[in-house]
Amino acid sequence: MKEPQSIATLASRFSMLPGVGRKTALRYAYAVIDLTDREVEEFCESLKEVKHSVKLCSQCGNFTDSDVCDICLSRQSKQICVVAYPKDVTAVEKTGAFNGVYHVLHGTLSPMNNRTPDDLNIKTLMTRLSGVEEVIIATNPDVEGEATAVYLARLIKPLGIKVTRIAQGISMGSELEYADSVTLSQALGRRTEL
């Protein structure tokens, strides 16, 4: 005997989320039964809303509800912090240690996965560099993140712009998204020139 078909189906949907295994997915599916009709309705609306209203900022590439994101609109800075993913912007912002603007690559260079510079949001970055004094590269401290940092440094340094890398205060192999704010804050403070 198994759970009702509709529960099994909903569980399989939850399984698409990161880190959700079969048991957790079933637990979520059963929990949905206890939600009110209104809550389920709102849940659905939010799911669709995210797909329809979330766009990429035309300047930095971060997620936004409008054409240009809040950070690009409200900040003038000669420092650009380059990150791989939008979630990394959230992580750096949480430290409060950086007041500049961001640029989201939406990935890292990875020959293994066939991700070349053309697949990353690099062209727009190059158009944003006039007047910029420093580009801080805050990709993850893993092989792909390092490769991306080196690639960008070679591209940008010839333009006379300082290119720095967040300090390896974050342990090798870990992910930026999960770093605690103190560690990430230190890594920003101790950044080294490439």
What are the residues binding a copy of itself (CB under 8 A)?
A: 1-7, 9-10, 13, 16-20, 24, 26-33, 35, 37, 39-44, 46-51, 53-54, 63-65, 70-71, 86-87, 89-90, 93, 177
The number of C-alpha atoms within 13 Å of 30 and in the hemisphere containing its C-beta is 7
Give the nearest distance from C-beta 56 to a copy of itself in angstroms. Answer: 10
For a copy of itself, the closer CB: 65 or 193: 65
The number of C-alpha atoms within 13 Å of 179 and in the hemisphere containing its C-beta is 31
For a copy of itself, the closer CB: 12 or 168: 12
For a copy of itself, the closer CB: 7 or 147: 7
Distance (Å, rounded) from C-alpha 143 to C-alpha 126? Answer: 23
Name the amino acid, one letter, at 72. Answer: C
Give the nearest distance from C-beta 134 to a copy of itself in angstroms. Answer: 20
Give the nearest distance from C-beta 177 to a copy of itself in angstroms. Answer: 8
Neighbouring CB atoms inside 10 A of 176's CB total 22
Greatest Cα pair distance in the chain:
68
CA–CA distance from 57 to each of 73, 78, 187, 191 (Å)? 10, 18, 26, 26
Give the nearest distance from C-beta 60 to a copy of itself in angstroms. Answer: 11
Give the nearest distance from C-beta 21 to a copy of itself in angstroms. Answer: 13
